Amino acid sequence: MKQHLLESRFTLRSNLPELIYQELWGLLLAYNLIRYKMVLMAKSLKGVFANQLSFRDASSHIIHKLTQMPIYAPGNVPKLILDIERNASQFKLEGKRERSYPRTLKVSKNRYPVAKKKKAAHLK
């Protein structure tokens, strides 16, 4: 959240614990609202789930659209909100590529636990 929503800036500016809680709750609320909008965006695409959309790209697009809202007339706001969902296809992530080497477990060379060596005492 700190990386993508706040552009890697220092997030907690408050000095009082109550205000820090308020900032954290605001950040969590913004994160959940963006994720909810991503779910709606994914529903507008057939066969796509919300986790197949890029959070970084979608969140920057949503934040950009929301910051532009004050310059538009109130009657155009619903159209702008729907415009966010229409652009959902550009945030779709590519499918994962197949592994060239399958995962395997490394075989231990020694099957028995090795006892720790006792430290030698220096005698005079």
pLDDT, tens only, 15-50: 788 888 888 888 889 889 989 988 988 888 888 888
- The confidence band for 69, taking pLDDT boundaries of 50, 70 and 90, is confident
Helices 17-44 + 77-86 axis angle, to 10:
70
Q: In whole numbers, what is the pLDDT of the chain averaged over residues?
A: 79
Q: Has residue 14 got a pLDDT over 80?
A: no
Tell me the domain boundaries of the chain.
Answer: 17-91
Q: What are phi and psi of 85, to 5 degrees?
A: -70, -30
Share of the chain above pLDDT 70, in %: 81
Q: What is the pLDDT of residues 72-97, one digit of tens each?
A: 888 888 888 888 888 888 888 887 77
Helices (H) and strands (E) in the chain, counts: 3, 0
pLDDT higher than 80, residue 65: yes
In our burial notation (b when 16+ CB lie closer than 10 A, e otherwise), range 50-70 reads: beebbbeebbbbbeeebeeee
Checking if the pLDDT of 123 tops 60, the result is no
Coil, strand or helix: which one is 48? coil
pLDDT value at residue 67: 86
Tally Cβ neighbours within 10 Å of residue 37. 21
pLDDT at 109 over 80: no
